[in-house]
Chain A
Amino acid sequence: ETGVTQSPTHLIKTRGQQVTLRCSSQSGHNTVSWYQQALGQGPQFIFQYYREEENGRGNFPPRFSGLQFPNYSSELNVNALELDDSALYLCASSQGQTQETQYFGPGTRLLVL
């Protein structure tokens, strides 16, 4: 059984650019959640996808968008990058829509210059 994987591990972008982060969910999981963790902070919920549909969204602007594919892998897209978008982006997978335990990937470290 493979765990949650994320790519790339590190990324450097400049202000105004766009970025796509990828996540492969754990085998058997159909729900993916994305979190942003700024330095020295706890992770903040961005949104969740269940069976390819958005299933909840946190307090993030529309330039943060996502997709989930039929194999339950997911992408996080961020447009018009700002300096404050520099953070560790964590993906977590779980099974179902209820309060199932979420298992996290290693994260993607994004630096916006």
Chain B
Amino acid sequence: AQSVTQPDIHITVSEGASLELRCNYSYGATPYLFWYVQSPGQGLQLLLKYFSGDTLVQGIKGFEAEFKRSQSSFNLRKPSVHWSDAAEYFCAVVPRQGAQKLVFGQGTRLTINP
């Protein structure tokens, strides 16, 4: 079945430490790939997206993500997290065929220790 999986429901890191959030997808053809962030009680803000080309994409707030076709993954990284990065992070895809809808993973909640 087509799906998006974020294996980690909750991650805690210390301020200044590096971060990697995992995302795997299961689609016949590589979908369009997105990462969104949601602060408590807020809407979703786009961090970055991958449509084609360079497999390492840069986003806002110092985030980057790497597309790996062989692993069907699109992991989000940040070299050094800040307390303001505490939020819920969603990986999402838009299939290349069919309805133009975003399909979201379950989300990963990020907590930052001071």
Contacts and interface: CB of A to CB of B under 8 A. Distances in A.
A106 B42 contact: yes
B101 A106 contact: no
Contact of A48 (B34, B90, B101): B101
Interface string B82-114: 000000001010101001111111110000000
Which of the four size classes fits the interface of chain A?
A: 20 to 34
A48 B42 contact: no
B6 to A, nearest CB: 8
A58 B36 CA distance: 20
B100 A90 contact: no
A42 B94 contact: no
B101 A90 contact: no
A2 interface: no
Contact of B43 (A31, A45, A90): A90
A44 B34 CA distance: 15
Interface residues of B, number: 25
Nearest to A96: B100
A97 B100 contact: yes
Interface stretch (B11-19, B44-52, B61-69, B71-79): B44-52
Nearest to A9: B41
Interface string A74-113: 0000000000000000101000011101111111010000
- For B41, B49, B100, B107, which residue has the most chain A Cβ atoms within 10 angstroms? B100
B101 A58 contact: yes
A33 B100 CA distance: 9
Given A99-B51, A105-B43, 12 more contacts: A42-B92, A42-B105, A43-B44, A45-B99, A45-B103, A48-B101, A58-B99, A97-B100, A101-B34, A104-B44, A106-B42, A107-B42
Interface of A: 4, 6, 31, 33, 35, 40-45, 48, 55-58, 90, 92, 97-99, 101-107, 109
